[in-house]
Copies of this chain bind each other. A is one copy, B any other.
Amino acid sequence: MFSGYPGGMVLYLHNQIIQGLCERKRAGLARAVTLVENGSEHARHILEEAYRLRGHSKVIGITGSPGVGKSTLVDSLIGAIRERGDSVGVIAVDPSSPFTGGAILGDRVRVRSRTTDNEVFFRSLASRGYLGGLSRHTGDIITLFDAFGFDYVLVETVGTGQSEVDIMRYAHSVLVVMAPGLGDDIQAIKAGILEIGDVFCVNKADHPDADRAVAVLEAMLGLNRQWQWKPPVVKTVASQGKGVVELLGKIDEHLEFLKQNGLLEERVSRSYIAALEDNIRRDTVDRILTEARLDGTLDLVLTQLSQGKTYPAAVAKQLIGKYLCAEESDNQ
């Protein structure tokens, strides 16, 4: 991004951005996020500083199947947080889609309605296709939001696959949103989201099946007796703002429980491990495949594989040796 600038100018711009973060200027945060999202080498200095500044925000992960009304619920939560006078940053992790040009129009529109409020900041992160992965920069961007000093950072994901579960490792507290009549309750076991939730919400609770959904969910949560914290189930009708203040209260209760029991550290450690994993993956898997593609090695290897002359595990070892370790030892 800054490639046209001489070194001193780059440093000046970095300092401007970091100062913007410290002085809580939205433009500074926006520029920092863009640099990090683009994977710019220049972002490292900003991240180094951001990791020093972090530590104030309560990071809340919000996940659930499409169709449960998650976007509306997040909007209501923003409202509840602002009514208390607290500030909030929202990060929505969306898979990009060629159909919509890389981000979901609905989310962007939704947020514009709040941009006049200076204590609310929204950013939608699109995935970058095959090698970009869904989440590789999410941890760093949460850190930027934290460094900016929001009271709450909400991280919202779409879907309930492994990727979404991975992103939830960055959160201090995880809210799982469900809805009655979606076949969501029992099927939720399959998606593995019962294990990751700290607080559960059955949204669209004016639906006739809502009480049954809550009962089934509570029964299933009751099966796990190892929990110190028994995840509460809250009913909401987000479109009418019903139950949202109580939901926010339960989230705060969970965060307080973590603090009182010395468990918040564990959550923070979990987020560091997630960040390490994402960074290592970027510097190994992503890098090897990108370089092998560029210099033609990948094509060569694919031909050999299709002829049955080799097999993936053997090729993997060769590529690691060629791209990763050769260069590393040159640098030393």
Contact = CB atoms under 8 A, between A and B. Distances in A.
Interface stretch (A83-91, A235-243, A266-274): A266-274
Interface stretch (A20-28, A72-80, A184-192, A208-216): A184-192
A268 B308 CA distance: 12
Interface in A258-272: 265, 268-269, 272
Contacts of A319: 276, 280
- Chain A interface helix/strand/loop/mixed: helix
Interface string A293-308: 0000010011001101
Contacts of A220: 99
A9 interface: no
Nearest to A313: B279
Interface stretch (A108-116, A156-164, A246-254): A156-164
Contact of A66 (B191, B301, B310, B328): B191
B67 A183 contact: yes
Indicate the member of A162, A191, A284, A302 with the most B CB atoms within 10 Å.
Answer: A162
Interface string A211-243: 000000000100110000000000000000000
A296 to B, nearest CB: 14
A311 interface: yes
A182 to B, nearest CB: 6
> Which of A50, A265, A305, A329 has the largest number of chain B CB atoms within 10 A?
A305
Nearest to A220: B99
B190 A312 contact: no
Contacts of A11: none
A97 B66 contact: no
Contacts of A281: 281, 284-285
A44 to B, nearest CB: 6
A48 B320 CA distance: 19
Looking at A99, A195, A313, A328, the one whose CB has the most chain B CB atoms below 10 A away is A313
Contacts of A191: 66, 95, 158-159
A315 interface: yes
Contacts of A324: 284, 320, 324-325, 328
B98 A183 contact: no
The 7 residue pairs across chains A and B that have the minimum distance between CB atoms: A161-B161, A67-B183, A66-B187, A95-B192, A162-B163, A279-B316, A325-B325
Given A134-B161, A159-B161, 11 more contacts: A44-B311, A51-B308, A66-B183, A67-B187, A95-B191, A127-B192, A161-B161, A280-B288, A283-B320, A325-B325, A329-B329
20 contacts: A44-B314, A50-B311, A51-B308, A51-B310, A51-B311, A66-B183, A67-B183, A67-B187, A95-B191, A95-B192, A99-B189, A100-B189, A159-B160, A159-B190, A276-B319, A279-B316, A280-B284, A280-B316, A282-B316, A325-B325
